[in-house]
């Protein structure tokens, strides 16, 4: 027997907020509808009043993660960094956004932000840049996660920072894909 719908108790927003909190605690691999329901003290079936399936919930989480990215005509490096920072704000944020992006779920807020920074007729470059940002940030988060669990390999007998040099590599990749020099202002024409 499924519980009666009680809209006063939980709504779409409270389910998504609970899911984001759990994402930070347990990571994407262990984020389940059952675990979210337990956090909210409801049966898993109660979540389906608000989300048709887990993919829809994950798309909502991806949208919430990327919603903080400003859509401005800032330079592309600033925009790329703001996308990366939004993905870093949540454990496995990059992997979550990457998986929903790959399935074409959710909004395309990050793509829109990149297109605004790159200027007219930039869809292909914005797409290539978004692919780079998602991949690079996923790699960095995986390395940080491995390091936090002691699973990262150490060079010689000393511990190393598994993300050392990733900022400069990130900037280099953005600049190369965007087709600008590191000090060149972007061409808005």
Q: In this predicted model, what pLDDT tens digit does every residue of 2-28 receive, in sequence order?
A: 445 444 478 999 999 999 999 999 999
Average pLDDT, whole number, for the chain? 86
**pLDDT exceeding 90 applies to what percent of the chain?**
71
**pLDDT exceeding 70 applies to what percent of the chain?**
84
Q: In 10 A of CB 144, how many CB atoms? A: 17
Q: What is the pLDDT of residue 99?
A: 94
Residue 87 binned pLDDT confidence (cut-offs 50, 70, 90): very high
């Amino acid at each position: 027997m499924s519980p009666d719908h009680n809209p006063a108790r939980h709504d779409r927003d409270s389910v998504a907020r609970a899911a984001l909190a759990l994402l930070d605690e347990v990571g994407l691999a262990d984020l389940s509808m059952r675990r979210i329901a337990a956090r909210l003290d409801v049966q898993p079936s109660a979540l389906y009043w608000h989300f048709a399936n887990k993919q829809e919930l994950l798309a909502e989480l991806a949208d919430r993660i990327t919603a903080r990215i400003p859509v401005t005509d800032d330079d592309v490096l600033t925009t790329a960094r703001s996308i990366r920072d939004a993905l870093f704000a949540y454990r496995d944020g990059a992997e979550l956004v990457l998986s929903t992006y790959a399935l074409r779920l959710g909004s395309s807020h990050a793509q829109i932000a990149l297109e605004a920074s790159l200027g007219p007729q930039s869809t292909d470059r914005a797409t290539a840049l978004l692919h780079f940002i998602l991949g690079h940030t996923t790699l960095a988060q995986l390395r940080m996660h491995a390091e936090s669990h002691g699973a990262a390999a150490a060079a010689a007998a000393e511990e190393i920072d598994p993300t050392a040099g990733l900022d400069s590599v990130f900037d280099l990749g953005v600049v190369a894909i965007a087709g600008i020099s590191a000090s060149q202002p972007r061409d808005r024409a």
